[in-house]
């Protein structure tokens, strides 16, 4: 069964900590995405990558960075976590091109205290 796996389901971090959210896919997809989901705001794109070592800013990149050293892995980094980054984070992947839907991971619920 093809999968997008996010390393943690729940995470609690302190303000100011550096936080790594990991995402791995086993479908050989070119594209990978990080979204955050907040009540009333829907899904907002943070960063995406369409190739190894490539990254593009989404709608809300401030306070985040990403790393894609291998095709199957896309990491989201919170350089200095803040309470307003408490959210559900969803990773997704897809084949190249707009014709293909996304496959999502099960999400990481991050709480910054």
Residues that bind another protein (CB under 8 A): 30-31, 33, 42-43, 45, 48, 50, 56, 88, 90, 92, 94-107, 109
CB nearer to another protein: give 51 or 79: 51
Least CB distance from residue 83 to another protein, whole Å?
21
Least CB distance from residue 10 to another protein, whole Å?
10
Least CB distance from residue 31 to another protein, whole Å?
5
Report the alpha-carbon distance of residue 76 to residue 64 in Å, rounded.
7
CB nearer to another protein: give 67 or 104: 104
To the nearest 10°, the Cα dihedral for 19, 36, 41, 43? 170
Report the alpha-carbon distance of residue 104 to residue 113 in Å, rounded.
27
46: left (phi over 0), alpha (psi -120 to 50) or beta: alpha
CB nearer to another protein: give 85 or 108: 108
Least CB distance from residue 78 to another protein, whole Å?
19
CB nearer to another protein: give 15 or 27: 27
Q: How far is CA 85 from CA 38, 56, 81, 96, in A?
A: 10, 20, 7, 29
């Amino acid at each position: 069964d093809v999968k997008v796996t996010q390393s943690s389901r729940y995470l609690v971090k302190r303000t100011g900590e550096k936080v790594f959210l990991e995402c791995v896919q086993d479908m050989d997809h070119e594209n990978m995405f990080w979204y955050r989901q907040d009540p009333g705001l829907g899904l907002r794109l943070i960063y995406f990558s369409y190739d190894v070592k490539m990254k593009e800013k989404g709608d809300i990149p401030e306070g985040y960075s990403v790393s894609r050293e291998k095709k199957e892995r896309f990491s989201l980094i919170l350089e200095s976590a803040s309470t307003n980054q408490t959210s559900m984070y969803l990773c997704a992947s897809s084949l190249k091109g707009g014709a293909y839907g996304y496959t999502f991971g099960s999400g990481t619920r991050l709480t910054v205290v």
